Amino acid sequence: MKKNKKTEQIKKYIVDNSNQILTTNDGVAIHDNNNTLKLGVRGPSLQQDHIYFDKLGHFDRERIPERVVHARGSGAYGILEIHEDISEFTRAKFLQKGAITPLFTRFSTVAGFKGSTDLARDVRGFSVKFYTEEGNYDLVGNNIPVFFIQDAMNFPDLVHAVKPEPDTEMPQAASAHDTFWDFISLMPESSHMIMWLMSDRAIPRSFRMMEGFGVHTFKLINSKGEITFVKFHWKPKLGVHSVAWNEAQKISGFNSDFHRQDLWENIEKENFPQWDLGVQLIPEKDEMNYPFDLLDPTKLIPEELVPVKLIGTMTLNRNPDNFFAETEQVAFDPGRIIPGIDLSDDPLLQGRVFSYMDTQNYRLGGANFHEIPINRSINQKNNNQKDGTNRMDILKGDVSYFPNSKASGCPYHAILKGEEGFQSHQQEVQGMKVRGRSDSFADHFSQATLFFNSQSESEKQHIIDAFSFELSKVSDSKIRERQVAILYQIDKTLAQKVGDNLGIVPPKELDELTLSFARQNHPNYPLQPKKQEINSSVALSMKVKEGEGTITTRKVAFLVDNGVSKKSVDQLKKALEKEGAVGVLISSKVGELIYDEGDKENIYHSYLTDSSVLYDAVFTPSGKSLSSLISNPDYYEFINEAYRHCKILAFAKGTEDLLKKSFVEKDKGVVLEDGTQNWVDEFINSMKLHRIWDREKARKVPS
């Protein structure tokens, strides 16, 4: 097996304390790590205690500023393997067929602080740092293919609006508050993104079950210097799945590290998460052939117009050793590009190039953050940059300038070695120097409507519920009304239904204040949008097609008690294991469980520690345990809640009386043991659908 250069590089920095004497930071062996130096055992303490100052002085400086946005994140190492030939489009070596490139990926939420919950309704960051032979390349994307705003100038305002309000520092990791919706209701360009944010995409089941998008249009450059526009996609092998909003809120209480733990545990168990890397390729000559502007980050390119070509696979296969050193200190920057890739003129992307570099300089304490092990290139770095805080590399010799003769002109241009090095795309540009926005960015609603039209009935209902929830938490009625007026432009039924929940009759026109802000960018707003080529796009829905899902790595709760039948437990457990899923025993208390057959097993989960929201499906096995479950309110809460969240439930023989006492009604996702193997297959097949969202019909079971 080929050595992973990044792993080898990182290993050199790992400190292993096993079998070592405790020392100060200067390597002085410590005699007593319990007591400060005092004048007599009852003090006072002495100022000459360099051992104490060494320890506390470091401790006092342990925190660095958290990221302004995307503060909460989780990361892992992996590799990208390319299996398709796209050499006619790019000369980037790591994108050539057969290339294997080490990488580090960090997933994050945007709004919450570093210690906030994983299950906030929020966009998820999806950043990948590729350690290529040609230097580091960062693809810093999200799990949503579009963005709120079109120009970088508005970014601090967007972030200030969504973050906790400055006077009270509330609410944490939530968009459901006045300042966010005040801003959004004045920015119709956010309409498309807001539809995604109010959809279930914003509450993923797992990082491993999210799509990723580069969002902006980038350029690929081939060996002739020709360009092709490109949009990057990550397609998860496990499918795209989300939880229900009521469930998300409860997960935040039961386990605010739900996504972090899920990623960590699955990598430890060698259930390595995988995504296919896809590209949408647009020839340069077609740049202006779409009803939207390719440079507008609030637009996607429907897959029906430009298919996603899958070219490689990313596998995350190693957890970091130290959260701070690796996941916290990793520094992403969309400006880190390599030969064969270039930035487009998307004004949001252009603005990002400054901000990331600037924020890393501040956050990581100076210009040498690229020398931190996680950020180091595996390709050698040679230049004349020197000094600065925390410089690690030791530049040899008296020359640190270019050109020079004293060091024989070294380091020299790539071309002298017959290599091209990084070259920007040679683009002809002419124009006035202006602060302004192109009218080709002025269609704010067509793709928001396209997104809504592409959703299944239950997905539409969830969007209606999410808008209703968020706007109900807004105290200013003018803001609520302005937003409903925007929804009316997207879809009349959507506006009507949200309006009903808020007691608002949807205004047919945009609010004057909204219009006045839109006219700051487009004086003749609203402009007649160009006709869209399609009305709906399959790829925008998360609905699982019959026969296509997988239950690999899914967790099924087995509700047991003393006297449960081992035979019943084992039958389903084994069938699940064959599919790569797991059964987890949950009882009224942790500790020893005694089966009906007399066997014993240690239980690690109880109703005190766990809840149905932490599982994908629930099984009640048969046995004498049923006589205690029938009078256990925790049992009923568990199955009723799982049913409410449209999960799959299975009941073994003998559970008929328990079922009657619950809210559970027979449907496709409620499977009863029938004496044959059929019920097991039925259970697994239903689980493959992820959820039986149809159960919610007519809001009978609101999830």
Residues that bind ligand HDE (CB under 6 A): 67-70, 73, 106, 108, 125, 127, 140-142, 147, 152, 155, 215, 297, 332, 348, 351-352, 355-356, 359-360
Q: If residue 570 lies in a helix (H) or strand (E), which one and from where to where?
A: helix 566-578
Beta strands in 225-328 (DSSP E): 227-236, 274-283, 309-318
Catalytic site includes residue 640: no
Nearest to 561 by CA among 622, 641, 637: 622
Catalytic site includes residue 142: yes
Please state the closest distance from residue 109 (CB atom) to ligand HDE, in A. Answer: 10
Nearer of residues 68 and 310 to ligand HDE, judged by Cβ? 68
- Collapsing DSSP states into helix, strand and coil, what is residue 672? strand
Beta strands in 417-547 (DSSP E): none
Residue 442, token pair as written in the block: 């002025």
Cβ atoms within 10 Å of 639's Cβ, excluding its own? 27
Contacts for 467-471: CB closer than 8 Å, 24+ residues apart: 467/198, 467/494, 467/498, 468/497, 468/498, 468/501, 468/502, 469/176, 469/245, 470/121, 470/175, 470/176, 470/181, 470/198, 471/181, 471/498, 471/502
Nearer of residues 175 and 703 to ligand HDE, judged by Cβ? 175
Nearer of residues 369 and 607 to ligand HDE, judged by Cβ? 369
What are the φ/ψ torsions at residue 161 (nearest 5 degrees)? Answer: -70, -35
Cβ atoms within 10 Å of 550's Cβ, excluding its own? 16
Please state the closest distance from residue 126 (CB atom) to ligand HDE, in A. Answer: 6
Please state the closest distance from residue 697 (CB atom) to ligand HDE, in A. Answer: 36
Question: Identity (one letter) of the amino acid at 136?
Answer: N
Query: Whole-angstrom Cα distance, residue 284 to residue 288?
Result: 9
Please state the closest distance from residue 538 (CB atom) to ligand HDE, in A. Answer: 23
Please state the closest distance from residue 216 (CB atom) to ligand HDE, in A. Answer: 6
What are the φ/ψ torsions at residue 255 (nearest 5 degrees)? Answer: -160, 95
Answer yes or no: are the C-beta atoms of 190 and 151 closer than 8 Å: no
Nearer of residues 70 and 231 to ligand HDE, judged by Cβ? 70
Please state the closest distance from residue 359 (CB atom) to ligand HDE, in A. Answer: 4
Catalytic residue among 4, 70, 177, 266: 70
Please state the closest distance from residue 665 (CB atom) to ligand HDE, in A. Answer: 42
- Distances in whole angstroms, Cα of residue 677 to Cα of each of 237, 564, 621, 652, 674: 28, 20, 15, 12, 8
Nearer of residues 161 and 494 to ligand HDE, judged by Cβ? 161
Q: Residue with the closest Cβ to ligand HDE? A: 125
Nearer of residues 241 and 336 to ligand HDE, judged by Cβ? 336
Answer yes or no: are the C-beta atoms of 703 and 644 closer than 8 Å: yes
Please state the closest distance from residue 280 (CB atom) to ligand HDE, in A. Answer: 15
Nearer of residues 355 and 606 to ligand HDE, judged by Cβ? 355
Nearer of residues 254 and 264 to ligand HDE, judged by Cβ? 264
Please state the closest distance from residue 608 (CB atom) to ligand HDE, in A. Answer: 35
Nearest to 579 by CA among 675, 683, 650: 683
Query: Whole-angstrom Cα distance, residue 258 to residue 610?
Result: 12
Please state the closest distance from residue 629 (CB atom) to ligand HDE, in A. Answer: 44
Catalytic residue among 33, 50, 136, 142: 142
Answer yes or no: are the C-beta atoms of 389 and 395 closer than 8 Å: no
- Distances in whole angstroms, Cα of residue 309 to Cα of each of 83, 86, 280: 11, 10, 6
Pairing of strands 591-594, 600-603: antiparallel
Nearer of residues 152 and 544 to ligand HDE, judged by Cβ? 152
Nearer of residues 73 and 135 to ligand HDE, judged by Cβ? 73
Query: Whole-angstrom Cα distance, residue 691 to residue 246?
Result: 14
348: left (phi over 0), alpha (psi -120 to 50) or beta: alpha
Nearest to 220 by CA among 347, 96, 351: 96
Residues near 253 by beta carbon (within 8 Å), at least 6 away in sequence? none
Please state the closest distance from residue 255 (CB atom) to ligand HDE, in A. Answer: 22
Nearer of residues 152 and 300 to ligand HDE, judged by Cβ? 152
Nearest to 360 by CA among 348, 372, 369: 369
Query: Whole-angstrom Cα distance, residue 140 to residue 4?
Result: 22
The DSSP code for 595 is -
Peptide bond into 44 cis (omega under 30): yes
Answer yes or no: are the C-beta atoms of 327 and 318 closer than 8 Å: no
Nearer of residues 172 and 350 to ligand HDE, judged by Cβ? 350
Residue 436, token pair as written in the block: 């302004």
Residue 277, token pair as written in the block: 């890397």
Please state the closest distance from residue 349 (CB atom) to ligand HDE, in A. Answer: 7
Query: Whole-angstrom Cα distance, residue 553 to residue 241?
Result: 13
Question: Identity (one letter) of the amino acid at 176?
Answer: A
What are the φ/ψ torsions at residue 128 (nearest 5 degrees)? Answer: -130, 125
- Distances in whole angstroms, Cα of residue 398 to Cα of each of 393, 405, 561: 15, 12, 76
List the catalytic residues.
Answer: 70, 142
